[in-house]
Protein backbone atom coordinates (compact mmCIF):
# COMPACT_ATOMS: atom_id res chain seq x y z
CA UNK A 1 0.00 0.00 0.00
CA UNK A 2 2.85 2.37 0.85
CA UNK A 3 4.47 1.74 -2.52
CA UNK A 4 1.16 2.44 -4.28
CA UNK A 5 0.72 5.74 -2.44
CA UNK A 6 4.38 6.64 -3.08
CA UNK A 7 3.91 6.04 -6.80
CA UNK A 8 1.30 8.81 -6.90
CA UNK A 9 2.12 11.20 -4.03
CA UNK A 10 5.57 12.65 -4.62
CA UNK A 11 6.04 14.87 -1.58
CA UNK A 12 7.33 12.87 1.42
CA UNK A 13 5.28 14.73 4.02
CA UNK A 14 2.12 14.56 1.94
CA UNK A 15 2.78 10.87 1.29
CA UNK A 16 3.08 10.21 5.04
CA UNK A 17 -0.16 12.12 5.63
CA UNK A 18 -1.98 10.16 2.92
CA UNK A 19 -0.64 6.88 4.34
CA UNK A 20 -1.78 7.80 7.84
CA UNK A 21 -5.19 8.90 6.55
CA UNK A 22 -5.39 5.62 4.63
CA UNK A 23 -4.50 3.57 7.71
CA UNK A 24 -7.19 5.38 9.65
CA UNK A 25 -9.72 4.89 6.83
CA UNK A 26 -8.88 1.17 6.69
CA UNK A 27 -9.48 0.86 10.43
CA UNK A 28 -12.69 2.89 10.32
CA UNK A 29 -14.16 1.06 7.34
CA UNK A 30 -12.92 -2.44 8.17
CA UNK A 31 -16.49 -3.59 8.81
CA UNK A 32 -17.21 -3.11 5.10
CA UNK A 33 -14.35 -5.45 4.11
CA UNK A 34 -15.56 -8.64 2.41
CA UNK A 35 -13.29 -11.41 3.71
CA UNK A 36 -13.91 -13.48 0.58
CA UNK A 37 -11.89 -10.87 -1.34
CA UNK A 38 -8.16 -10.15 -1.14
CA UNK A 39 -7.40 -7.75 1.71
CA UNK A 40 -4.60 -6.06 -0.21
CA UNK A 41 -6.90 -5.19 -3.11
CA UNK A 42 -9.49 -3.76 -0.74
CA UNK A 43 -6.87 -1.76 1.19
CA UNK A 44 -5.40 -0.39 -2.03
CA UNK A 45 -8.92 0.65 -3.03
CA UNK A 46 -9.18 2.57 0.24
CA UNK A 47 -5.77 4.10 -0.50
CA UNK A 48 -7.00 5.11 -3.95
CA UNK A 49 -9.94 6.94 -2.37
CA UNK A 50 -7.59 8.75 0.02
CA UNK A 51 -5.30 9.66 -2.89
CA UNK A 52 -8.30 11.06 -4.77
CA UNK A 53 -9.19 13.21 -1.76
CA UNK A 54 -5.58 14.39 -1.54
CA UNK A 55 -5.46 15.21 -5.27
CA UNK A 56 -8.68 17.22 -5.05
CA UNK A 57 -7.11 19.28 -2.29
CA UNK A 58 -3.93 19.74 -4.33
CA UNK A 59 -5.42 20.57 -7.77
CA UNK A 60 -3.27 23.68 -8.05
CA UNK A 61 -0.07 21.59 -8.32
CA UNK A 62 1.39 21.05 -11.77
CA UNK A 63 1.93 17.30 -11.55
CA UNK A 64 -1.39 15.65 -10.84
CA UNK A 65 -2.21 12.16 -12.07
CA UNK A 66 -5.50 11.63 -13.82
CA UNK A 67 -7.97 8.94 -12.73
CA UNK A 68 -6.91 6.55 -15.53
CA UNK A 69 -3.26 6.64 -14.43
CA UNK A 70 -4.25 6.01 -10.83
CA UNK A 71 -6.50 3.13 -11.92
CA UNK A 72 -3.61 1.58 -13.86
CA UNK A 73 -1.30 1.91 -10.86
CA UNK A 74 -3.98 0.41 -8.61
CA UNK A 75 -4.36 -2.57 -10.92
CA UNK A 76 -0.62 -3.15 -10.93
CA UNK A 77 -0.35 -3.03 -7.15
CA UNK A 78 -3.42 -5.23 -6.62
CA UNK A 79 -1.78 -7.94 -8.70
CA UNK A 80 1.34 -7.97 -6.55
CA UNK A 81 1.42 -10.01 -3.38
CA UNK A 82 1.77 -8.27 -0.01
CA UNK A 83 5.19 -8.45 1.61
CA UNK A 84 5.37 -11.42 3.96
CA UNK A 85 7.25 -9.23 6.42
CA UNK A 86 3.99 -7.49 7.32
CA UNK A 87 2.69 -10.74 8.83
CA UNK A 88 4.96 -9.97 11.79
CA UNK A 89 3.69 -6.44 12.46
CA UNK A 90 0.98 -7.37 15.02
CA UNK A 91 3.46 -9.47 17.01
CA UNK A 92 6.02 -6.67 16.97
CA UNK A 93 3.43 -4.11 18.09
CA UNK A 94 2.51 -6.43 20.99
CA UNK A 95 6.17 -6.35 22.06
CA UNK A 96 6.27 -2.56 22.44
CA UNK A 97 6.67 -1.25 25.99
CA UNK A 98 3.80 0.56 27.74
CA UNK A 99 4.50 4.17 26.75
CA UNK A 100 5.64 3.28 23.22
CA UNK A 101 2.59 1.11 22.73
CA UNK A 102 0.31 3.90 23.98
CA UNK A 103 1.91 6.44 21.63
CA UNK A 104 1.59 3.98 18.73
CA UNK A 105 -2.07 3.33 19.57
CA UNK A 106 -2.91 7.03 19.84
CA UNK A 107 -1.18 7.82 16.55
CA UNK A 108 -2.20 4.92 14.32
CA UNK A 109 -5.41 3.58 15.83
CA UNK A 110 -6.92 6.83 17.09
CA UNK A 111 -5.37 8.97 14.32
CA UNK A 112 -4.12 11.68 16.68
CA UNK A 113 -1.39 14.09 15.62
CA UNK A 114 1.74 14.43 17.80
CA UNK A 115 0.45 17.66 19.37
CA UNK A 116 -2.75 15.94 20.58
CA UNK A 117 -0.76 12.93 21.81
CA UNK A 118 1.59 15.23 23.71
CA UNK A 119 -1.33 16.77 25.58
CA UNK A 120 -2.64 13.34 26.60
CA UNK A 121 0.61 11.82 27.83
CA UNK A 122 2.51 14.85 29.12
CA UNK A 123 5.32 15.06 26.57
CA UNK A 124 6.20 17.82 24.12
CA UNK A 125 5.00 17.41 20.54
CA UNK A 126 8.63 17.25 19.43
CA UNK A 127 9.32 14.44 21.92
CA UNK A 128 6.29 12.55 20.64
CA UNK A 129 7.52 12.92 17.05
CA UNK A 130 10.96 11.62 18.04
CA UNK A 131 9.36 8.76 19.97
CA UNK A 132 7.30 7.85 16.89
CA UNK A 133 10.49 7.78 14.81
CA UNK A 134 12.09 5.43 17.35
CA UNK A 135 8.97 3.26 17.48
CA UNK A 136 8.86 2.93 13.69
CA UNK A 137 12.55 2.00 13.66
CA UNK A 138 12.00 -0.51 16.47
CA UNK A 139 9.07 -2.07 14.58
CA UNK A 140 11.09 -2.21 11.36
CA UNK A 141 13.97 -3.96 13.13
CA UNK A 142 11.60 -6.39 14.86
CA UNK A 143 9.88 -7.27 11.57
CA UNK A 144 13.20 -7.75 9.79
CA UNK A 145 14.57 -9.93 12.62
CA UNK A 146 11.46 -12.12 12.65
CA UNK A 147 11.45 -12.41 8.87
CA UNK A 148 15.13 -13.36 8.77
CA UNK A 149 14.79 -15.89 11.61
CA UNK A 150 11.68 -17.35 9.95
CA UNK A 151 13.69 -17.82 6.76
CA UNK A 152 16.50 -19.51 8.68
CA UNK A 153 14.06 -21.84 10.46
CA UNK A 154 11.65 -22.36 7.58
Q: What is the pLDDT of residue 113?
A: 92
Domains, the chain, in order of start with CATH, read: 2-79 (no CATH), 84-153 (1.10.10.10)
CA distances from 59 to 5, 13, 52, 66 (A): 17, 17, 10, 11
Q: How far is CA 13 from CA 20, 96, 97, in A?
A: 11, 25, 27
Cβ atoms 47, 76 nearer than 8 A: no
- Residue with more model confidence, 55 or 65: 55
Q: Where are the beta strands (DSSP E) in the chain?
A: none
Lowest mean pLDDT among 6-20, 79-93, 116-130: 79-93
Given a cut of 80, is residue 20 above it in pLDDT? yes
pTM: 0.47
Amino acid sequence: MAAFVASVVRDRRDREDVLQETALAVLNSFESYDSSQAFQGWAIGVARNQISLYLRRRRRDRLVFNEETIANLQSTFEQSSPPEELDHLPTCIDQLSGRSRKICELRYQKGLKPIAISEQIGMTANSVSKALQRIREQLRECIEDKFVSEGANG
